[in-house]
């Protein structure tokens, strides 16, 4: 993406509390167990995409989840996001009871020109 989309690596002017990407945002959702499977996460994600693209003018939106979180991955796919790769960060490895520093996360992305809006 960085060769085709040079804006993807541009940093936002504000450096506090840390540098942030200038043209893409991250969305996520958390739904209590008793409300899962009712479409709320997809609604939350869709509202986040509308706000990111139509209000804030983002060029791309990313979403991350633990590799084994099939429900969130399915939401990302329903939203039209595509798998961009994996990263390692602090979290739960499937089957583990304690967080680890190298838990595998998947990253999904949706570019503005792919947004059916």
Per-residue DSSP letters for the chain?
-TTT-GGGGPBPS--SSS--BSSEEE------GGGTTSSHHHHHHHHHHHIIIIIS--SEEEEEEETT-HHHHHHHHHTT-EEEEEEEEEEEPTT-SSEEEEEEEEEEEEEGGG---
Q: Is the pLDDT of residue 24 over 70?
A: yes
Q: What is the pLDDT of residue 1?
A: 46
Mean pLDDT of the chain: 85
Q: What is the pLDDT of residue 109?
A: 92
Q: Is the pLDDT of residue 8 over 70?
A: no
The fraction of the chain above a pLDDT of 70, given in percent, is 80
Report strand pairing: 82-92 vs 99-111.
Answer: antiparallel
Please write the tens of the pLDDT for every residue from 34-53: 999 999 999 999 999 999 99
Query: Domains in the chain, ordered, with CATH?
Result: 6-114 (3.40.630.30)
For residues 71-86, average pLDDT? 95
Least confident range of 13-17, 105-109, 110-114? 13-17
For residues 8-27, average pLDDT? 62
């Amino acid at each position: 993406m960085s060769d085709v989309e040079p804006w993807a690596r541009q940093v936002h002017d504000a450096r506090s509390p840390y540098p942030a990407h200038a043209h893409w945002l991250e969305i996520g959702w958390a739904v209590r167990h008793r409300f899962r499977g009712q479409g709320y996460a997809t609604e939350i994600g869709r509202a986040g995409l509308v706000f990111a693209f139509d209000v804030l003018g983002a060029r791309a939106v990313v979403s991350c989840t633990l590799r084994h979180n099939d429900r969130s991955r399915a939401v990302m796919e329903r939203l039209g996001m595509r798998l961009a790769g994996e990263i390692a960060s602090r979290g739960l490895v499937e089957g583990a009871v304690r967080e680890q520093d190298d838990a595998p996360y998947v990253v999904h992305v949706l570019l503005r020109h792919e947004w059916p809006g």
